Amino acid sequence: MIEQGRDYDRIGRFTPFEMGRRASCSACYRQFNRMEHLVDHMRTSFHSVHEPTCGVCKKHCRSFESLREHLIGPLPKQECRNVFNIRGCKFCLAILDSPYALRVHQDRCQLSGVSHGISAYMANLGLRDSLTIDNGYSRGPQVVALACKTVGGGSDRSLDLCARVCIIDENENIIFHTYVKPSIPVTNYRYETTGIRPEHLRDAMPLRQVQRKVQDFLCNGEPTWKIRSPKGGKARILVGHGLDHDLDKMQVEYPPIMIRDTAKYPPLMKTSKLSNSLKYLTQAYLGYDIQNGIQDPYEDCVATMRLYVRMRRQVHRRQDYPLASDPQNRNNFASWRQNELERMSPEEMLAISRSDYYCWCLDSA
């Protein structure tokens, strides 16, 4: 029975919210001794509908990694773990309606790796180049994934030189695939992981040409200065893992607003500062193994694209101004007086809170 004048959270538990007394956050359930401490917490936590959420207790987590810990980690929340053990998907962490629904779901959720054959064959042909500029007249913003492999240069052999590039489309078709001739001498081919030999690079496409082609392909006829939003323009959305490094090695500049990096997306990160490896993400979230022995950029492209598509498919409540940085919403809490906030219930505070990162589900709108 719900008592009058007291607050209950969304699963009907009593939350001790009264002025000047203990209060708990409506999103992460952290307890605070004073309302003002909860207000401070809300100002800096950027809770939102986009956070990974426990399918059992509805707790919001900063990342899938912390949700995983909450469900199956060394110190899980016992009630949630019990439900998860029976009908939780170990890949996407969703809770299904029944063990049967889980089996059906998990068969689709776990993917298998791509055949090495195709890419090795293409690489031996030397090149695939369908980098055409279509000026965006086909449907919607196009999404492509890019990955590079580097060899070593410089006297200590540690300088990364781009030696192989692959670009795929959303259907995992190879659009561009080539060896690259670096502009300075290679001092370490890193053969055990790259599979690259001197003869592969001798007559390969020069770096400068690759740079120009890739740059033009990504912008797709749009001048770089005009690219301000993933919506409505001709430029392509670029998916990858650690793209800062890849783009830097290719000397390509691309606006961050068009980049979807699985190494920098908060829900996929280990901690707020530390990325997960692509190998780990693929194993944990897609259920198959990559980067054993010789690494293939096609395989990396496919893994990042699949992670992106999965993140984009998340179903989150639509909001007009989803980001804390959107000037239209008053979410930044700055426009509210401290005493106004302290009078709000934890639920009301959560309702005005917005995300501090761009959730990829927004690309699907």
Residues in touch with Zn ion (CB under 5 A): 25, 27-28, 45, 50, 54, 56-57, 59, 77, 80, 89, 91-92, 109, 316, 359, 361
CB of 24 to Zn ion, least distance (A): 8
CB of 197 to Zn ion, least distance (A): 40
CB of 360 to Zn ion, least distance (A): 7
Length of the chain: 365
CB of 334 to Zn ion, least distance (A): 18
Cβ closer to Zn ion: 46 or 298?
Answer: 46
Burial class (CB in 10 A: 0-12, 13-18, 19+), 219: buried
Cβ closer to Zn ion: 279 or 316?
Answer: 316
Cβ closer to Zn ion: 102 or 168?
Answer: 102
Cβ closer to Zn ion: 84 or 179?
Answer: 84
What is the three-state SS of 132-197?
A: CCCCCCCCCCCEEEEEEEEEEECCCCCEEEEEEEEEEECCCCEEEEEEEECCCCEEECCHHHHCCC
**What residues form DSSP beta bridges with 14?**
8
Residue 138's contacts (CB-CB under 8 Å, 6 or more residues apart) are none
CB of 56 to Zn ion, least distance (A): 4
Provide the H-helix boundaries in the chain.
Answer: 35-45, 64-72, 78-87, 99-109, 116-125, 191-194, 198-202, 207-219, 243-250, 278-281, 297-312, 338-343, 346-352
Cβ closer to Zn ion: 27 or 151?
Answer: 27
Cβ closer to Zn ion: 76 or 136?
Answer: 76
